[in-house]
Amino acid sequence: MSRKRRLRANDNRLKIEHSIIDGLRPVLERMLEWDEVRTIVPGVIKVVRDARGEVKIRVTVPTTNGWKAIALAGGSRQDLFISTAIEKIELEGIIEAALEKRKW
């Protein structure tokens, strides 16, 4: 029996359909420490010129069940689909805290 390629982590809350850019996975796992963040689905990785240095995440547009964000690092960008009912400002605070490796 072959093993499914789809990997899951954090009680099925981090849905990994594709690779994740370097340094992003620990940040996503820290974001999932908040109950307000239901799931995170990383999208396809694309190479870009303006994504240098440490991981940065920018919340962009609302979706049907949460927010779309863009993660940038190491010359790559990756869309993130974050399922949550909270407002953009609250999500940005969670992202900032996860990037700073702390929890309120």
pLDDT tens for 30-89 read 999 999 999 999 999 999 987 788 899 999 999 999 999 999 998 999 999 999 999 999
10 Å CB burial of residue 54 (0-12, 13-18, 19+) is exposed
Q: What pLDDT does 2 receive? A: 33
- Given a cut of 60, whether residue 6 has pLDDT beyond it is no
In 4-87, where does DSSP find H-type helix? 24-31
User: Which of 10-14, 73-77, 90-94 is predicted least confidently?
Assistant: 10-14
Q: Taking each helix axis as running N to C, give the angle between helix 88-99 and helix 24-31, from 0 to 180 degrees, rounded to the nearest 10.
A: 130
Q: Are 38 and 13 in contact (CB under 8 A)?
A: yes
pTM: 0.82
